[in-house]
Amino acid sequence: MDATEVDVRRVVAELGSNNSSLNIEVIDCDPELADTAEFVEAYGYTLDQSANTLIVIGKSDPPVYVACVVLASTRLDVNKVVRRKLGVKKCSFAGPDVTGELTGMKIGGVTPIGLSKHMPLWVDRRVMDCERIVLGGGSRSCKVVAAPEILTALPHVEVVEDLAKDPPKAPPA
């Protein structure tokens, strides 16, 4: 267990002890199955329950960053909603190296729990409509399953309408 996972588990325990309605579980998983598609297939969850945390870079001087939480069945609206809210002309997803530098986490384990209070955290409204969500656990070795109110229990969160959109529909075969 790395230091980031230890910190996430500590924050999760604190949140759970302060609010039992969050119904928080930390579940261990095979690190090789931590990416969303593999995880849901192996562990019996759905994309509509999986809430992915994505780091976005606003291209300004200096750059600005935001963590966004969206359901895996949707797509973060980087080019319109995120760009406008950040107040920049261009923005993009942070790559694995930058994500690691900013969060201490690897892709497949990124979670909003334990992120720096200096990084804004935006959550798509649809995430809050779920009964329970699956979040990264700070490492590729575990996931956090809880009521979505775990997100609004964090100190630096904003729920954003239409932060994500439905993915484009596949053309008929």
Q: Enumerate the domain spans of the chain.
A: 3-155
Q: What is the pLDDT of residue 71?
A: 97
In this predicted structure, the answer to whether residue 29 has a pLDDT above a threshold of 90 is yes
Single-letter amino acid, residue 40: V
Assigned CATH for 3-155: 3.90.960.10
- Give the pLDDT mean for 63-77: 96
Q: Please, what is the average pLDDT of the chain? A: 93
CB 60 within 8 A of CB 113: no
In this predicted structure, the answer to whether residue 154 has a pLDDT above a threshold of 80 is yes
CB 69 within 8 A of CB 53: yes
Helical (H) or strand (E) element with 144 = strand 142-146
Location of structure tokens 């964090």: 154
Provide the 8-state DSSP code for 50.
B
pLDDT digit string (tens) for 91-118?
A: 999 999 999 999 999 999 999 998 988 8
Q: Provide the percentage of residues in the chain whose pLDDT is more than 90.
A: 80
Q: What is the pLDDT of residue 17?
A: 87
Please choose, from the candidates 152, 72, 63, the residue with its C-alpha nearest in 3D space to the C-alpha of residue 112. 152
pLDDT digit string (tens) for 30-59?
A: 999 999 999 999 999 999 999 999 999 999
Helical (H) or strand (E) element with 70 = strand 64-71
Q: What is the pLDDT of residue 125?
A: 97
